[in-house]
Structure 1
Amino acid sequence: MSFVKNNSLFIRLVMMVSLALCPPILLSHFASSYFISKYGFEQAEQTVSNVAQLTAESPVVIEGMQTPKGDAWVQMIDFLRMLTSVSGVKFIVLIDMHGNRIYHPELQKIGAHIVGGDEGEALLGKTYISSARGTFGFSQRAFRPVYNESGQQIGAVVVGIMSREIEKSVSRLTSPMTWLFSLSLVIGLLLAVLLSRKIKKILFGLEPDQIARLLEERNAILSTVREGIIAINRNNRLVVVNEMAERILRSAGVQGELLGRPVQEVVPSTRLDAILKEGKPEYDREQNINGQIIMTNRSPIIIQGKTVGAVATFRDMTEMRALAERMTGLSNYAEALRSRSHEYLNKLHVISGLLRNRRYEELEEYLSQIIGSKIRETSSIKVNVQDPILAGLLESKFSRAHERNVTLTLGGSGVIPQLSPHGAHALVTILGNLVDNAFDAVSFTQEKHIDLSVHCENGTLVITVADTGRGIDEEHLPEIFRKGFSTKGAGRGIGLYMLLLTLDELDGSIEVDSHAGQGTSFTVHIPLAMLTNGGQA
């Protein structure tokens, strides 16, 4: 067994299939040989028994045994020779009551005692078959008593077939069978080799231990990825559900066993069945599972040109939004630092030049302008905004406005209080996208002016961002919040889409007022409690 275990899958399969084929083939061969041999000897015994009966009951033989000389004797000899030739037996021998031969095919042996020692029962009137070695060799012999007309036993007849002749007859029958079974065995071994090669090919030449290791590695990978992964077979039944997918589905209220169930029962809103049927992938699609929103990618599983299943990867939209918000916040912080660095570097160059040229009056006036502008911007932000993250965002936007020669004004009434981390990130996403879009809108206009207004009244935060850009065409207004829609080229159309998702999460709303050539105004309404209480009203 250790030899089998230490060999490759190919050798093990060949050996196992061979071991499965050889015993029944060999057993069939031995069984058929046994029954053919048994049948051959039974037929031989039947033949000698019939010939012995025919001889013992023949009047010619009875009369000839009683009159050893004369015509009856000659007729008996002719009859026995003819019967021997016709029946195919080796010999017919007649003996008297003393066991001496009355007739023998070899005339010189007539008168001598029969050889073999098995004639005793026949002289006592019994009929039987015996195996013994006579003058011709080992043979199967039938003994039968001979009676005269008055019923007195006058001797016995012995009819025999040589055992080697029976064996030759049996061999002539079993030899083709031997060749047939040998051929069957060879074909079985060839089929075992072909089957082993086929299985090896199906398994891509991998050994069982390699397959087991790959399965363990696959399960480990599926359990560690942060995305949910489900896969279905061609019958629309789930065959793969990793730990993250099960966690998301359970949180969405899905109960019971997952594997093996139709995907429509587990995820009623799924499109995996359509992907399986159409064979076309879908990327970055939102999906609602019992009220839980996920972002999913779906793709068919194609093997050798045939679609055999479909797979979906997905993540909870709440996590994705939080990640996007963090990334937006970091991007804004970096933008603020870059803008500040660039702005102050330019101003330092101006100050350095004024100093070198000893233009002290102009330097004093320039510094007054810088300090006064910053004091106004900073004081305006401090008056209206208490949250440091939002204040940092606004300062970065003022710096960027200076850099791009855009006039940015901040107005409004009421104070934005300290926000929760979730509320701050959400407001960064909303305000950052609106101001950035305003910057893009005024980039190609002569008048570059942006008004940012923040109002806090009756528990509602109202933000208005108005620009003097070219406005939005009327036919584009219904599409601006759709994911991927943009008139600015490929790879855009995400900002307003993320803004709308964030507003939905905060129970907020947005209004758009735009006229071609006159600019655009966005007004956002958000319950203040959603920003200060971690997203819980």
Structure 2
Amino acid sequence: MRRRRPTLAGEMLILQLAIVLMVLFAVGAISLAQSAATFDRVEGRRVTALAEQLAWNPLVRAQIGRPAPGEVLAPLVHSTLTQSGVTSVTVADASGKIISSTDTTVVGAALPLGDPGVARARGWSGHLVVDGAPEVAAQVPVLSDAPADHGAHLGTVMIGVAAPTVWERLVGASSYLLTYLGVAVALGGAGSWLLARRIKRQTLGMEPREIAGLTEHREAMLHGIAEGVVALDPQHRLTMVNDMGRTLLDLPDHCVGMSLTALGVQGRLYDVLSGADEAHDEIALHRGRVLVMNRMMIDKDGRRLGSVTTLRDRTELAQLERELGSFRSSTELLRAQAHEFANQLHVISGLIQVREHDEVVRYIRAIREHRESLDLSLSSRVRDTSVAALLMAKSSLAAERRVELRLSGRTALGRLDPLDAADVATVTGNLVDNAIDAACGSGEPAWVEVELRQDTSSVEIVVRDSGPGVAPELAHEVFTRGFTTKAARGGERGIGLALTQLVCRRRGGEVAVTNTDDGAMFTARMSVGRLAMGVSR
């Protein structure tokens, strides 16, 4: 049978109880040591005073030097023993020979000296082994008071009291010490039990091996996913970041524990990471990357623990969007033209049915002349076929939404390198899409005007619309927050303008928005390579 391992709470309880018992043992030892010191001090003083009193007794002085003094001093020695409650009373002559004692078996023997100075008429007190038993004893000299030999050393008086054993001291202190120790054990046990419960609650009932396994799985998961994960505490300090998050935010290896401010995180990125509410699909630009972030707040028992933010890099999608731009434009053009042609065929069919054949011819001629005029105007001002095709598609799409897309008379764009043309088409398409969205809800007449200008090294794209414009407080944020013109009015969000700024900055340019009397005006400028063909003016 597999032996069951103790739980973390059980281990903590056992350890705490062991510590409590060790502390109680130390307290008991210290208490006994203090009791012994107190006994030695008090009893030492008492036996010293009794010995001095006996040594100064006239009878002792008178009989100590005479023959057979034991018979005379024996009643005095026993009386002192009885009245003071000491263990032993001994009187010795000047030579150290015991002449009288409460223990008659030691009479005639040498007096055990606690200090050599006792033989030279010096007093002493301390521990001494008397007849095999430890005693707290005092030895006081008996001095002569006769005028002839005043102060002469006549002998020594020793009084001792037996030192209690450890058990006797423990029994004597049991009236208070054992009570205190019992209370301490109860309090220590209760405290250890509460601590074990608290630890178990804080670890959610998991054992150390489970916590270690959970940590290993978390590390493997966080560093294995393709999205960045950043965790912050309520003071906006990083508590956890995985490898992808560190890469996307360009954070140093020792960033954990540092605040966003100390790491140099500013602007829109700081606002999203440190926000007080949850965020969904928020967009921010950071060092050439378009980041889509989702933030979730972490609360427990009504207390804010911090936030966890996931980051996805949408920059790679920009290349895919540019590659799909031409296909999307062609698809939109075909769809819009199919709708337009269907309407024209309905008109022609109706005229044929009412037998207005001459009117059919005039209608078809008018349609052909309008198309030739539009193609001629566009192709003469925009020589790059990809950009011209884009504008043609946007024109049909705008007409379908009852928005007039017109080309500024100052437009002049030559043929571009394919990579340059792709970026110009991306920026132009994004700005036109936003302008159409803004203009179609502004009432009649709705229009969007596109102006393309170039010099030897750069292209400038200006898109004006008849929409309501951009709120002043959003003018500096529409590119970093990922707004479309719908979002500027409180609608859904996208990354069109963010990609526009990303493309312009990558090519050493910039994009800005201003409000005019008619609506909003977006101006984008970017550097391009040498033109493949000259510009027809």
| TM-score normalised over the length of structure 1 | 0.58
1-structure distance, mates of 2:38, 2:521: 109
For residues 73-132 of structure 1, the C-alpha deviation after alignment (integer angstroms, 9 at most, x for no partner) is: 7x974x55643342013687999xxxxx9998xxxxxxxx957xxx27x43566686666
Q: Distance in 2 between matches of 1:330 and 1:218?
A: 43
In the other structure, the counterpart of 1:437 is: 435
State the one-letter code of the partner of 2:109: L
Amino acid at match of 1:197: R
- Give the 5 Å matches for 1:242-391: 242-248=242-248, 250=250, 258-260=255-257, 263-267=260-264, 269=266, 284=282, 335=332
Partners of 1:457 and 1:272 lie apart in 2 by 35
Q: Say if 1:196 and 1:387 are closer, same or farther in 2 by CA, change over 3 A.
A: farther
Is the CA contact 2:55–2:157 (under 8 Å) kept in the aligned structure 1?
yes
1:20 Cα deviation (Å)?
3.1
1:182–1:398 Cα change, 3 Å: same
The superposition leaves residues 48-81 of structure 1 with CA deviations (integer Å, 9 ceiling, x where unpaired) of 787678668856579899999xxx97x974x556
Other-structure match for 2:208: 208
Map 1:3-14 → 2, pairs under 5 A: 6-14=5-13
- Structure 1 distance, partners of 2:111, 2:263, is 92
Pairwise CA distance, 1:326 = 7.1
Give the corresponding residue for 1:110. Answer: none
1:419 corresponding residue in structure 2: 418
Aligned residue in 1 for 2:22: 23
For residue 193 of structure 1, what is the amino acid of its counterpart? W
Alpha-carbon distance between aligned partners in 2 of 1:310 and 1:509, rounded to the nearest angstrom: 33
Distance 2:463 2:348 in 1: 34
Partner residue in 2 for 1:428:
426
Separation in structure 1 between the aligned mates of residue 230 and residue 526 of structure 2, nearest angstrom? 35
- Counterpart CA distance in 2 for 1:19 and 1:56 is 54
SS of alignment partner, residue 185 of structure 1? helix
Measure the CA separation in 1 of the matches of 2:406 and 2:305. 60
Contact 2:512 2:524 in 1 (8 A): yes
| 1:423–1:531 CA contact under 8 A, matched in 2 | no
C-alpha separation between the residues in 2 aligned to 1:435 and 1:222? Answer: 38
CA, structure 1 residues 350+382, in 2 after alignment: closer, same or farther (shift >3 Å)? same
Q: How far has the Cα of 1:17 moved from its partner? A: 2.8
Q: Match of 1:186? A: 186
1:145-184 paired onto structure 2 within 5 Å: 168=168, 171-173=171-173, 175-184=175-184
Equivalents in 2 of 1:511, 1:140: separation in Å? Answer: 104
CA distance in 2, matches of 1:102, 1:478: 114
Selected match of 2:84 from 84, 87, 91: 87
Query: Is this contact kept in 2: 1:298–1:310, CA < 8 A?
Result: no
Deviations 1:279-338 (A, max 9, x none): 67899585777xx67768798977676777788776779568657767877865765676
Q: Within 5 Å, give how 1:220-239 maps onto structure 2.
A: 220-223=220-223, 224-227=225-228, 229=230, 231=232, 234=235, 239=239
Counterpart-to-counterpart distance in 1, 2:425 and 2:290: 22
Structure 1 distance, partners of 2:472, 2:183, is 83
SS at match of 1:180: helix
Q: CA deviation at 1:522?
A: 7.5
Tell me the CA shift for residue 434 of structure 1. Answer: 1.1
Q: How much has 1:163 moved relative to structure 2?
A: 8.1
| Residue in structure 2 matched with residue 36 of structure 1 by the alignment | 35
Residues 1:123 and 2:109 are matched in the alignment = yes
Distance, in Å, in 2 between the alignment partners of 1:348 and 1:160 is: 137
Shift of 1:26: 0.8
TM-score by length of 2: 0.58
Q: Report the number of matched residues.
A: 489
* 1:529 partner SS: coil
Q: Which residue of 2 aligns with 1:109?
A: none
SS, match of residue 83 in structure 2: helix
**For each residue in 1:430-449, what CA deviation from the matched residue of structure 2 results, as whole angstroms up to 9, or x when unmatched?**
22541563476367867788
Q: Tell me which moved more, 207-216 or 267-276.
A: 267-276
Letter of the aligned partner of 2:173 in structure 1? L
Q: Deviations over 1:235-291 (max 9, x none)?
A: x765545434543565xxx879544556544317469999999967899585777xx
Conservation of the 8 A alpha-carbon contact between 1:227 and 1:313: yes
1:417-463 deviation digits (Å, cap 9, x = unpaired): 4522x852552342254156347636786778877777777566566
Q: Of the two structures, which has the highest relative contact order with CA contacts closer than 8 Å and spacing of 6 or more? A: 2
Unaligned runs of at least 5 residues, structure 1: 96-100, 105-112, 150-155, 533-537
CA 1:352–1:81: 2 relative to 1, 3 Å: farther
Distance 1:124 1:322, change over 3 A: same
Aligned-partner Cα distance in 2 for 1:208–1:297 = 34
Distance 1:240 1:14, change over 3 A: same
Aligned-pair CA distance for 1:12: 2.1
2:432 partner letter: L
Q: Secondary structure at the match of 1:123?
A: coil
Q: Whole-Å Cα distance in 1 between the matches of residues 67 and 169 of structure 2?
A: 38
Give the secondary-structure state (helix, strand or coil) at the position aligned to 1:266.
coil
- Larger helix proportion of the pair: 1
**CA distance in 2 between partners of 1:521 and 1:279 (Å):** 34
- Percentage identity across paired residues of the two chains: 18
Distance 1:446 1:419, change over 3 A: same
Contact 1:230 1:242 in 2 (8 A): no
Deviation of the 1:491 alpha carbon: 1.1
Q: Indicate how the Cα distance of structure 1 residues 244 and 530 shifts in structure 2: closer, same or farther if over 3 A, else same.
A: farther
* Partner SS for 1:229: strand
Checking the alignment, whether the CA contact within 8 Å between 1:232 and 1:311 is kept in structure 2 is no
Work out the CA distance in 2 between the residues paired with 1:488 and 1:268: 25
Amino acid aligned to 1:226: E
Structure 2: any 5+ residue segments left out of the alignment?
93-98, 115-127, 145-155, 533-537
CA RMSD of aligned residues (A): 6.8
Which residue of structure 2 lines up, in the alignment, with residue 196 of structure 1? 196
* Partner SS for 1:7: coil
